[in-house]
Amino acid sequence: MSARETILANIMANQPVSQDLPQIDLQAVIHYDNVLQQFKTVLESIGGKTLEIKDWQELQAMMESDQAAGKRIINAISELGNIDETLSTMKAEELAMVQRAYIKAGIAVAENGSVWVDEAAMVNRLLPFIAEHLVLVIEQKNIVANMHHAYQQVASFETGFGMFLAGPSKTADIEQSLVIGAHGARSLLVCILPS
Amino acid sequence: MKIGLFIPCYIDQFYPGVGVASLELLEKLGCEVSFPLNQTCCGQPMANSGFEAMSKGCDKNFVKNFKGFDYIVAPSGSCVLHIKEHLHDEEDPRAAEQIRACVYELTEFLVDVLKVGSLQASFPFKVGLHTSCHGQRGLHLASMSELVAPAFSKPGTLLNMVKGIEVSRPKRVDECCGFGGTFCVFEEAVSVKMGKDRIGEHQDNEVEYITGVDTSCLMHLEGILRRQGSKIKTIHIAEILNSRL
Amino acid sequence: MSSLAKLTHAEAAEQFIADEPRTDWHDDTLWFVREKRDKAVNSIPEWEQLRQWASDIKYHGLSNMHQLLVDFEKNAIANCIEVHWAVDAKEHNELIYKIIQDNQIERIVKSKSMLTEECHLNEFLTEKGVEVVDTDLGERIVQFRKEAPSHIVLPAIHLKKQDVSETFHEHLGTEKGNNDPQYLTEAARGHLRDKFIASELAITGVNFAIAETGGFVVCTNEGNADMGAHAAKIHIACMGFEKIIPKAEHLAVFLRLLARSATGQPITTYSSHFSKPRAGQQMHLVIVDNGRSRQLGREEFRNSLKCIRCAACFNTCPVYRRSGGHSYHTAVAGPIGSILNPNLDMQANKDLPFASTLCGSCSNVCPVKINIHEQLYLWRQTITKEGLAPKTKTIAMWGMSEVLAHPAIYRLAGKMGRWVVKYLPFLTNNAMNPWFKQREMPQAPKESFRDWYLNNKQK
């Protein structure tokens, strides 16, 4: 017998009588009066920053001033300008030089300060991890209260890769001292567009 | 209401005062209490060491002694929990089942069954309350710091009825003292370290006594306190609730 | 696992505690994590309900494991993931070695995976001459020191920053005596960035695998799993089969519980959902049994397979905090390890279910409501039934049970015992008696309660 057959046969022989799945009551889970405020508070408590912006122009100006300062930036947001055609195939060596990446996010979650970013938005899977600093953009109407609502709206496995991202990379592996900027982005700014 | 007083073996042998206080307290509260003379032990020492099979003799003896009471009350959360969870008797399974259903730890009995609202007790000392695990997490004598649930404490409620007492809780309000049955000898180093740490937090509160619902925990803490030459004494909660100082 | 492997938990714990200030520090550091967990869970009013849902979803998973695995495999293959099966640790290691050889790989990075620790993958590959770089900061630290992780979430929690500083000075050339965690982390970031960029193959663990989509989720705070997986041309993810959950929507329940239970964070920084390899990449998934199907068949112990490896039971355990992870001499330490490891090797791990006071705190913090302390009790019974208890203990217990089963003998023994403690204290107050090493014996009263009762109440 193959390993697969052996394992599946042992499981079949040993698994208990089937028990139904529980009903998740979405009325019984946490809600917030002001999801925007909750989202901002939580994200800032885990090391992220938030900025409410008026429109895309404001963000464009930010990006332009980065460029003017000589920073190596990568834009993955079509509303902000052309996306580099080679981005999807860029290798780690090249991406490692990126100082700031601009990426559009989808759903944001008030209870934990995370935002959904998928492969379609990041263009290159490595980009949001390897860039030194990260700027994400969400629309205020996309903030939901909790993870149950978030999973109702995100196509979590459809693009090949996606993630909930909550704050900058961090570690507390040395004596439980929190250090921001372990392997991934050293800072995360989430810009919030009005709905 | 016929009450059988269950006095665990080590209380019988080493802390008779706890038994006396429990009996007097229950009688003061108007209960008719008798002490079955041939009782020994709940069988927990063997069972917790992995020898549940060897506790059958104890079980049988327990059933013989405590069959037919309306309530069985003991001044020990740990022994009561063991009876509740593990008492079996192949020859008389219904008696064992009935016993499991009517066995109570003393403070639980006072609060839930007698619904005591006041006590004629006075104990003008600073007392630290040790929350014994089996009573708390097993019998739910008090809320548990791990759970998201309203706070309560049956022993605490009763202590608050005592005149002159000043009750404090250690910083880690319900951490284990490290007694753990035979754990206290087979894992001696960890056991003692845990006990020392509990004592340290009570010391920070400048208590004169440490109390609790389980003499086993208190015996372990007392052993360390005496070795340290500490002035802090241990006292079972029954002795406080029964005191007239 | 160094020399500690030969010691029992009690012996290793005694050595650990010998350095009392360091034990206090270890205890406080982990208690701090427990406090952060408490704060986080108290912000969720439905926390206890959430635990129940998680526990029930996991039980549904265990009771439908066969079908869920078949579905998962079908969906994963449809998404171009190569699925492999391994009956035991040896097969798991050999499978991975074969992928390495077939692709002529030399540079490998690995993020945290307790399964690969359980299978001793690093040792296996090292013997074959293959170097694996652990990329989780804590794991890299212990890898440099040739130690095992002492905690499944905080692998280097047994070390102080001075220890890390010395290790990094030796291996990374950091400034001697610079103990600043920020500085040390920065040094590791630079060192590991080079490894990520150069790596050809990345190994990761799996936190959750979703039957209905054939995808899987990996959670980290550092971003190291993703740095590896997205930079390398081959990604191998390894999972015990119990990581399966039915649907993507169930991730909501588990991701709400995991980080809050583990570190008190509302969610891990990165909760990465993998479902297809990127263009030109190979993605392999190894499904491992290694004793899990046996545990599934043990009614009393199958719920241990619900574990999501948050380590909340470690942080709350008063014994773990005062004995350190290495005293458990296994890949997964702490209370959950003490109910998982006897299934892997009962003889070698027969001491672990006894390394507990059965206080029950572990079961209360467990996000999937595993009855850990009850299973510890049940493993004690199983181990004794298998004849694995020490002979002296068996004899002592037999003697005790005989005394306690017979009221007359009990009364006589009690009288003698009290008499001995009172008049011949040297028989009990000596170094052979572990109670007396650091504790006084109880003072013997002149009469038992029963004697008092007969004299005062029945006259």
C8 pLDDT above the threshold of 70: yes
* Residue C32 to residue C321: CA distance in whole angstroms: 11
Check residue C411 and give its pLDDT. 87
List, for residues C152-161, the tens digit of each pLDDT value.
999 999 999 9
Q: For chain C, say whether A161 makes contact (Cβ under 8 Å).
A: yes
* Residue C16 to residue C321: CA distance in whole angstroms: 11
Q: Do B98 and B158 sit in the same domain of this protein?
A: no
Domain span holding position C405 = 396-456
Question: Domain with B196 in it: what CATH number?
Answer: 3.40.50
Q: What is the mean pLDDT of chain C?
A: 95
Shortest distance between the Cα of A29 and any Cα of chain C, in A, equals 6
| Cβ pairs A/C, distance under 8 A | 259
Check residue C427 and give its pLDDT. 65
C4 pLDDT above the threshold of 70: no
In this prediction, residue C2 has a pLDDT band, given cuts at 50, 70 and 90, of very low
Of C72, C110, C117, nearest to C236 by C-alpha is C110
Residue C272 lies in a domain: yes
Distances (CA, A) of C143 to C1, C86, C375: 11, 25, 32
Residue B222 makes CB contacts below 8 A (sequence gap 6+) with B233, B234, C440, C442
Q: For chain C, say whether A3 makes contact (Cβ under 8 Å).
A: yes
Residue B219 lies in a domain: yes
Check residue C116 and give its pLDDT. 97
Q: Tokens for C21?
A: 């200030």
* Residue A162 to residue A156: CA distance in whole angstroms: 7
Q: Quick one: which H or E segment has residue A156?
A: none
* Residue C207 to residue C259: CA distance in whole angstroms: 12
Check residue B209 and give its pLDDT. 98
Counting residues of chain B whose pLDDT is more than 70, the rounded percentage is 100
Check residue B180 and give its pLDDT. 94
Of B220, B163, B212, nearest to B190 by C-alpha is B220
Q: Do C159 and C269 sit in the same domain of this protein?
A: yes
* Residue A34 to residue B97: CA distance in whole angstroms: 53
Inspect the interface and report whether the beta carbons of C223 and A169 lie closer than 8 Å.
Answer: yes
C400 pLDDT above the threshold of 90: no
> Chain B contacts of C389, Cβ < 8 Å?
49-51
Q: Do C384 and C412 sit in the same domain of this protein?
A: no
Q: For chain C, say whether A13 makes contact (Cβ under 8 Å).
A: yes
Q: Tokens for B152?
A: 């309560």
User: Tell me, what's the ipTM?
Assistant: 0.97
Q: Are A109 and A147 in contact (CB under 8 A)?
A: yes
Inspect the interface and report whether the beta carbons of C440 and B51 lie closer than 8 Å.
Answer: no
Q: Tokens for C228?
A: 């590896």
Number of domains in chain C: 3
What is the b/e burial string over C242-269, where b = at least 16 CB atoms within 10 angstroms of the residue's CB? bbbbbebbbbbbbbbbbbbbbbbbbbbb
* C contact residues 307-336, partner A, Cβ 8 Å cutoff: none
Q: Cα C423 to the chain's mean position, in Å?
A: 48
Residue C297 lies in a domain: no
Across the interface, of C181, C231, C263, the residue whose CB is closest to A174 is: C181
In this structure, what are the phi and psi dihedrals at residue C85, rounded to the nearest 5 degrees?
A: -125, 140
Residue C352 lies in a domain: yes
* C contact residues 416-445, partner B, Cβ 8 Å cutoff: 417-418, 433-435, 437-445
Helices B188-204/B215-228 angle, 10° precision: 80
Q: Do B150 and B236 sit in the same domain of this protein?
A: yes
Q: For chain A, say whether C74 makes contact (Cβ under 8 Å).
A: no
Across the interface, of A10, A15, A163, the residue whose CB is closest to C271 is: A163
Q: Cα A103 to the chain's mean position, in Å?
A: 9
Number of domains in chain B: 2
* Residue B11 to residue B77: CA distance in whole angstroms: 13
List, for residues B182-210, the tens digit of each pLDDT value.
999 999 999 999 999 999 999 999 999 99
Residue B77 lies in a domain: yes
Residue C252 makes CB contacts below 8 A (sequence gap 6+) with A24, A146, A147, A148, A150, A151
Residues in chain C: 459
The residue written with tokens 């269950």 in the block is B6
CATH topology of domain A33-193: Rossmann fold (3.40.50)
Domain span holding position B213 = 126-241
- Any contact of B with A, at least 3 CB pairs below 8 A? no
Which residue in B26, B40, B83, B218 has the most chain C C-beta atoms within 10 A of its own C-beta, making it the best mutation to test that interface? Answer: B40
Q: What residues form DSSP beta bridges with C240?
A: C288
In this prediction, residue C397 has a pLDDT band, given cuts at 50, 70 and 90, of confident
Per-residue pLDDT of chain B (245 residues; tens, 9 = 90+): 899 999 999 999 999 999 999 999 999 999 999 999 999 999 998 899 999 988 999 999 999 999 999 999 999 999 999 999 999 999 999 999 999 999 999 999 999 999 999 999 999 999 999 999 999 999 999 999 999 999 999 999 999 999 999 999 999 999 999 999 999 999 999 999 999 999 999 999 999 999 999 999 999 999 999 999 999 999 999 999 999 87
Q: Do B91 and B190 sit in the same domain of this protein?
A: no
Q: Do B100 and B10 sit in the same domain of this protein?
A: yes
